[in-house]
Amino acid sequence: MKIIGRIINKRRFKKIIFLKLINIRKDIQIVFNKKIELLDKKLKIGHIIKVFGKHGKTKSGQESIFCEKLIILKKCKKFPNKYFNNINKEFSYRKRYIDLVINKKSRFVFKKRFSLIKNIRLYFYKKKFTEVETPILNNIYAGADSKPFKTMHNFLKKKNYLRISPELYLKKLIVGGYERIFEIGKNFRNENCSKIHNPEFSMIEYYIVDINYLEIMRYTKKMLLKVIKKTIGQTKIVYKNNNVDFKKFETLKIKDAVLKYRNIKYIKKSFLIKEIIKKTKIISYKKENLMYQYFDEYISKKIIKPTFIIGHPKIFSPLALERNGFVERFELYICGIEIANGFSELNSAKEQEKRFKYQKKEYDMDYIEALKFGLPKTSGCGIGLDRLVMIITNSNSIRDVILFPFMK
């Protein structure tokens, strides 16, 4: 057999050289007992080599390749031995190419990351979805209430934005006749950096015709259960000492979540509203809006069990279908982190334009025209892939699961 890898350890016992070789898939021991003196001088820590030999085990039972032929592919002029026992997060993020060599945890995390994305794709292919691509460079930023990154097209002398969401383009494709679509890609939001925020992040968005938000909520639950089981071999995980079972989801209205996680059985509404006003940066003084602001700022972080939160006010959901003063929307929280957001899509051109104007910002008139052409009953969902990887790999920060995270 043949294997290519980097030497990270070398030891000599009598007339035998033992090399520890790593590549992105696994670590393996190389046993060499020919021309030992010559090789002992040539083989240095960090060198990348190609080994031909037979697979077997040593007397101690160690899986090994017994080398018959060895070629040095590339010498390493500077290998940071000092970091083996003293690696820190800052170094890992800035020098990922070294981190992957010396940090087994990082190799594990990214193996699971790309396995998860592959399994999600396979799941949607099996369910007869079409994978599509939509523009990253947009004339108008839309699809979420976030600050965009601005850029300029030099030839056209026209301002453009990096997309904050592919949502409007995906719904235009539904108008065009697609019934089941998904896109996995990068979004960009010009906002704060934190343990769960990176300016560039990965998401999957998917849309299904002729279902409502409750049905796509159940669809999301089933998809996550199967994909996570296939990726890590089980449905139970531990994240920051919290036990999470993807077989056990809960659904709560916002007001019920506030009551449950404040550990108070009954609260006078007037007292709660005063508390919310005191603690929250107010966007709206309406009772249901205050409740959501309070939930978002203080309660959401306390949710450990996979929980779908419903009962959102319209002001915070301009693209969702309204029903009895609230919108048909859900957010999925796990271990205090928002993982997914989905809703029944608003398909009235008149109402959508009214909501865009209320937001008092530039909006996509072509999307309004598409709605006039006819958007059938549709529901969609977006899942933050980086955050999901954080949870299934028990990673403390979003930077741990992005190969090259944004750094100051």
- Residue spans per domain, the chain: 2-79, 104-249+305-401
pLDDT of amino acid 274: 64
Q: What share of the chain is helix, strand, coil (3-state, %, to 5)?
A: 35, 30, 35
**Residues belonging to the chain:** 408
Beta strands in 154-299 (DSSP E): 158-162, 180-188, 200-209, 236-239, 242-245, 250-253
Q: In this structure, how many other beta carbons lie within 10 angstroms of the beta carbon of residue 343? A: 25
pLDDT of amino acid 278: 64
pLDDT of amino acid 150: 95
Please choose, from the candidates 55, 17, 21, 54, the residue with its C-alpha nearest in 3D space to the C-alpha of residue 39: 17
| Identical fold, 2-79 and 104-249+305-401 | no
pLDDT of amino acid 266: 46
Instruction: Find the angle CA(218)-CA(224)-CA(230) to the nearest 5 degrees.
Output: 140
pTM confidence score: 0.91
pLDDT of amino acid 37: 62
What kind of fold does domain 2-79 have according to CATH?
Answer: OB fold (Dihydrolipoamide Acetyltransferase, E2P) (2.40.50)
Which helix or strand (DSSP H or E) is residue 153 part of?
strand 149-153
pLDDT of amino acid 406: 94
Give dist(CA 406, CA 408) in Å, integer. Answer: 7
Which helix or strand (DSSP H or E) is residue 38 part of?
helix 36-42
The pLDDT tens digits of the residues spanning 79-123 come to: 766 656 567 888 889 999 989 988 889 999 999 999 999 999 999
Rg (CA), the chain: 26
CATH code of the region 104-249+305-401: 3.30.930.10
pLDDT of amino acid 201: 97
pLDDT of amino acid 81: 65
Regions of the chain with pLDDT less than 70: 35-38, 80-86, 263-286
Instruction: Find the angle CA(6)-CA(10)-CA(11) to the nearest 5 degrees.
Output: 160
pLDDT of amino acid 258: 86
Which positions ≥6 away from 120 have C-beta within 8 Å? 184, 204, 223, 227, 385
The pLDDT tens digits of the residues spanning 222-257 come to: 999 999 999 999 999 999 999 999 999 999 999 899
- Give the three-class secondary structure for 279: helix
Give dist(CA 213, CA 343) in Å, integer. Answer: 5
